């Protein structure tokens, strides 16, 4: 049957507000009697707070410390270890200690606060850390037997650095006291995460909590967990002052205090046969989790599951550890562990090809997963396994082989990377989330109620397309409710490439059920005649998915999307600057619900990957980010971004809405290894990112 909404680049549900200035982001909102908030933070990376006090004239100021917390002094996430406000023990620099609010922003900024700290001895090196947040072991086959079959054994250590999200809209919320509780409006990816954190913070005080997402200027995972912290702070101030409180960070505070991508050290020891078959992979993954648990166990989980790459190998061991250090906690960032571990495996594979004298494409073709193959966790690949298809198309389209042969003459490096990305929460995660979404009738059609947030990736539009198609009604008749926890059910967080596959899937089921109930009637007609009708559906795990959390065995994800990048670049002989010339990207996402929005995700994710690989460097000094401004933390401008040639293949996944898999994170997995492999093709032995000119210079001089 011909699709009328899905698969077309229909007019977006966002309207034109983003382009006219009418769209309202958190800092655009003003409430009568509103106060501004400010956070006083630690300066030392560990130790104790001996005292903190406002030294200015206190009139007009609302002051909050940990004693004002009615419930639990914790920002609830996976665990309750992270305090909302420091009581005494300091675990990282920029940890929040005191909150101030005042009607005048000037008075607020000029307020003098005295903070007495007693410094301790910090741990900064994750490999020296005494404590891990999580350890994971994946085992397949018999490693020793595997190595015994190898003709060549190659080892290597690969490193990736932290990365700042640099959503162009810094973080912020406004807390507004309501008669029976508190409402928080803000730049938020996961309203229900914030809701839960407020419940824990405020305790069983009978207060009603409501969280509403405002138009959000980018998230990339950075607004998954941290908004809970800001919301808790703003709520405490608002409740104490009985006034609305706007707490918005400027760029420097945002970079200094909020989460960033986990830095990684990944060690590989691999055995291959002479003709390039992988027979043994021993991988060690170390992530720097910072000072509190936050989401490190889950980042580690995704990281280790993806660590052996989209390849088949009979004997695999992957050991992962997420370590404690005295730095601001690392957190969710697009890719969530997979970019880090896939950087390592793809550069390692390149080195294997170099050592064997084998063509890098042949090496990957030989070992790429095919339908029927088993992954490291023992998951059997289905017909939606498209590793070789994307590889072939990327190689063909980019002219990889011809360009690779010409490297010496052209002085233009060319490298490739093959990658995969599981869609949805790992293992039993989706079952535990038990997400729900609702389709209800309106006088004009239907309305979607879900907590999935639009953060630029096209949630509103894509969900409306799915519902319109499944209900067989015009796309124009579908509206999408604002994610307001007072109104919408908990559809789980807007993360993990699940918004289409999982939540879109639930909405598709709800829409189909509604259609069955309506018969031939239009929903608007039914609504006008019989009153409102709502269908709520919950996530149902697909048949046959099995996951063993103890042994880390089984079906880690319902499906994987696949991608292959070819990077072409030049290396400046005088300055060692890496200049990307072109990036060819081929991805298979099952089905592009909105082709233009899908292309946008691929292009944007690719450029974020380029930035992570070549430009973005978090400089830490005594446990704090020393270059917390955009002058010194560099993301790609238009002048730094090479032409992108993007192809989206659609090899349908039967378990996804209209064949769709997940898409949002996949594109950031490819560029970094592709670029580094392109640099390698010029004879420079690079194994770490960011590949800043200084680092390339050192590697180039060592290689020659």
Partner 1 sequence: MRFILNGEEREVRSAPLARLLDVLREECGLTGTKEGCGEGECGACTVLLDGAAVCSCLVPLAQTEGAVVTTIEGLGDDHPLQRAFMDEVGAQCGICTPGMILTALSLGPRPSPAKLRQGLAGNLCRCTGYEAIYRAIRAAT
Partner 2 sequence: MLRDEQSLVPLAGATDLYVSLNAGTLEGRRFLNLWSLPSLRRIVLQGDTLSIGALATYSALITSRLVRARLPMLVQASRQVGGLQIQNRGTIGGNVANASPAGDTLPVLAAVDAIVVLGSADGERRVPFNGFYTGYRRTVRRPDELITAIEVPAVGGAQWFRKVGTRAAQAISKVVMAGVRGGAPRVALGSVAPVVLRLPGTEAALADGATIDEAVRTLETEIAPIDDLRSTAEYRRRVAGNLLRRFWADTAPA
Footprint on this chain of partner 1 (rule: CB under 8 A) = 9, 11-12, 14-25, 27-28, 165-170, 215-220, 250-252, 455-458, 596-597, 599-600, 603-608, 629-631, 635, 637-639, 641, 643-644, 646
Q: Where are the beta strands (DSSP E) in 94-216?
A: 96-102, 113-119, 132-140, 152-160, 172-178, 181-186, 208-213
Of 179 and 637, which CB lies nearer to partner 1 in the complex structure? 637
Joined tokens for residue 470: 């499944």
Give the contacts of 420 (CB within 8 A, at least 6 positions apart): 306, 309, 310, 342, 369, 387, 560, 561, 562, 563, 666, 669
- Tell whether residue 55 is a contact of partner 2 (CB under 8 A): no
Least Cβ distance, residue 640 to partner 2 (angstroms): 5
Nearer residue to partner 1 within complex by CB, 272 or 635: 635
Cα 587-593-594 angle, rounded to 5 deg: 90
Among 389, 627, 646, 685, contact with partner 2 (rule: CB under 8 A): 627
Q: What is the Cα–Cα distance from 194 to 438, expressed in whole angstroms?
A: 21
Name which of 17, 35, 25 is nearest 247 in CA terms.
Answer: 35
Residue with tokens 């007609």: 525
Element (H, E) at 560: strand 560-571
Least distance CB 640 / partner 1 (angstroms): 8
The one of partner 2, partner 1, none whose footprint includes residue 12, by CB under 5 to 8 A per kind, is: partner 1
Applying the rule CB under 8 A, the residues between 572 and 601 that interact with partner 2 are 573-575, 577, 579
Choice between 379 and 608, CB closer to partner 1 = 608
Q: Which helix (H) or strand (E) holds 278?
A: strand 278-288
- Strand blocks (E) in 488-559: 534-538, 547-548, 553-554
Of 85, 338, 615, 663, which one interacts with partner 2 (CB under 8 A)? 615
Rule CB under 8 A: choose which of 636, 655, 656, 671 binds partner 2: 636
DSSP conformational letter for 252: H
Residue 627 binding result from partner 2, partner 1, none, given CB thresholds of 5 to 8 Å by partner type: partner 2
**Minimum CB distance to partner 1, residue 231 (Å):** 20
State the Cα torsion 625-119-287-130 to the nearest 10°: 170
Binds partner 2 by CB under 8 A, chosen from 80, 113, 115, 634: 634
- Choose from partner 2, partner 1, none: what does 456 bind? Cβ within 5-8 Å by kind: partner 1
d(CA 444, CA 264): 52
CB of 456 to partner 1, least distance (A): 3
Q: Tell me whether residue 479 or residue 603 sits nearer to partner 1 (CB atom).
A: 603
Residues 662-701 that bind partner 2 (CB under 8 A): 692-694, 697
Query: Binding to partner 2 by residue 103, rule CB under 8 A?
Result: no
With CB under 5 to 8 Å by kind, the binding choice for 608 among partner 1, partner 2, none is: partner 1
Written as one string, the DSSP assignment of 563-617 is: EEEEEEEEE-TTT--EEEEEEEEEEE-S--SSHHHHHHHHHHHHHHHHHHHHT--
Nearest approach in angstroms of CB 704 to partner 2 is 13
Residues facing residue 140 across a β-bridge: 316
SS3 of the chain: helix, strand, coil, percent, to 5:
30, 25, 45
692 binds, among partner 2, partner 1, none (CB under 5 to 8 A by kind): partner 2
* Contact positions vs partner 2 (CB under 8 A): 573-575, 577, 579, 615, 619, 626-627, 631-632, 634, 636-640, 692-694, 697
């Amino acid at each position: 049957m011909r699709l009328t909404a899905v698969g077309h680049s229909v007019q977006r549900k966002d309207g034109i507000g983003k382009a006219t200035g009418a769209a309202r982001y958190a800092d655009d909102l003003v409430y009568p009697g509103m106060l501004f908030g400010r956070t006083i933070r630690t300066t030392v990376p560990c130790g104790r707070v001996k005292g903190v006090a406002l030294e200015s004239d206190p009139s007009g100021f609302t002051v909050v410390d940990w004693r004002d917390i009615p419930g639990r002094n914790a920002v609830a996430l996976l665990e309750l270890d992270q305090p909302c406000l420091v009581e005494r023990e300091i675990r990282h620099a920029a940890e929040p200690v005191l909150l101030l609010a005042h009607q005048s922003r000037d008075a607020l900024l000029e307020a003098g606060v005295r903070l007495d700290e007693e410094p301790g001895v910090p741990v900064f090196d994750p490999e020296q850390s005494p404590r891990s947040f999580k350890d994971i072991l994946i085992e397949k086959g018999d490693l020793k037997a595997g190595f015994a079959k190898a003709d060549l054994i190659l080892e290597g250590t690969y490193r990736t650095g932290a990365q700042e999200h640099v959503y162009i809209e810094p973080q912020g919320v406004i807390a507004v006291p309501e008669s029976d509780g508190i409402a928080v409006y803000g730049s938020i990816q996961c309203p229900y995460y914030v809701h839960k954190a407020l419940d824990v913070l405020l305790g069983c005080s009978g207060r009603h909590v409501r969280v509403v997402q405002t138009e959000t200027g980018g998230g990339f995972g950075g607004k998954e967990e941290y908004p809970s912290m800001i919301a808790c702070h703003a709520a405490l101030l608002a409740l104490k002052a009985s006034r609305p409180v706007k707490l918005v960070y400027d760029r420097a505070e945002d970079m200094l205090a909020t989460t960033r991508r986990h830095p990684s050290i990944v060690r590989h020891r691999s055995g291959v046969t002479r003709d390039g078959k992988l027979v043994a992979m021993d991988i060690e993954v170390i992530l720097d989790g910072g000072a509190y648990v936050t989401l490190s166990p889950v980042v580690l989980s995704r990281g280790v599951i993806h660590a052996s790459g989209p390849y088949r190998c009979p004997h695999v061991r992957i050991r992962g550890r997420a370590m404690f250090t005295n730095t601001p906690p690392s957190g969710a960032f697009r890719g969530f562990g997979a970019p880090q571990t896939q950087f390592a495996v793809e550069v390692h594979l390149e080195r294997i090809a170099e050592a064997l004298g084998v063509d890098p494409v042949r090496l990957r073709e030989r070992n790429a997963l095919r339908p029927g193959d088993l992954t490291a966790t023992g998951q059997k690949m289905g017909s939606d396994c498209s590793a070789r298809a994307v590889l072939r198309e990327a190689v063909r389209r980019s002219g990889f082989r011809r360009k690779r042969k010409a490297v010496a003459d052209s002085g233009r490096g060319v490298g490739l990377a093959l990658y995969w990305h599981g869609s949805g929460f790992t293992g039993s995660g989706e079952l535990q989330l038990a997400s729900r979404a609702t389709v209800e009738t309106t006088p004009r059609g239907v309305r979607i109620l879900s907590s999935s947030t639009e953060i630029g990736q096209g949630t509103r539009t894509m969900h409306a397309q799915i519902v319109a198609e499944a209900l067989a009604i015009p796309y124009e008749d579908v509206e999408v409710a604002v994610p307001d926890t007072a109104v919408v059910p908990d559809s789980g967080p807007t993360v993990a490439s699940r918004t289409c596959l999982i939540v879109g899937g639930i909405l598709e089921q709800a829409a189909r059920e509604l259609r069955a109930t309506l018969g031939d009637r239009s929903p608007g007609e039914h609504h006008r005649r019989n009153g409102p009708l709502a269908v709520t559906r919950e996530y149902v795990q697909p048949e046959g998915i099995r996951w063993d959390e103890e042994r880390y065995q089984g079906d880690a994800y319902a499906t994987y999307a696949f991608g292959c990048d070819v990077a072409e670049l030049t290396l400046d002989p005088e300055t060692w600057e890496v200049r990307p010339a072109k990036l060819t990207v081929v991805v298979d996402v099952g089905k592009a619900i909105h082709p233009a929005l899908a292309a946008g995700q691929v292009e944007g994710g690719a450029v974020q990957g380029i930035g992570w690989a070549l430009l973005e460097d978090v400089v830490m000094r005594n446990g704090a980010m020393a270059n917390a401004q955009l002058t010194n933390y560099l993301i790609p401008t238009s002048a730094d971004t090479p032409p992108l040639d993007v192809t989206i293949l659609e090899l349908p996944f039967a378990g996804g809405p209209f064949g769709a898999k997940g898409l949002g994170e996949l594109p950031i997995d490819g560029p970094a290894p592709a670029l580094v492999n392109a640099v390698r093709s010029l004879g420079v032995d690079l194994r770490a990112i960011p590949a800043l000119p200084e680092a390339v210079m050192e590697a180039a001089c060592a290689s020659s």
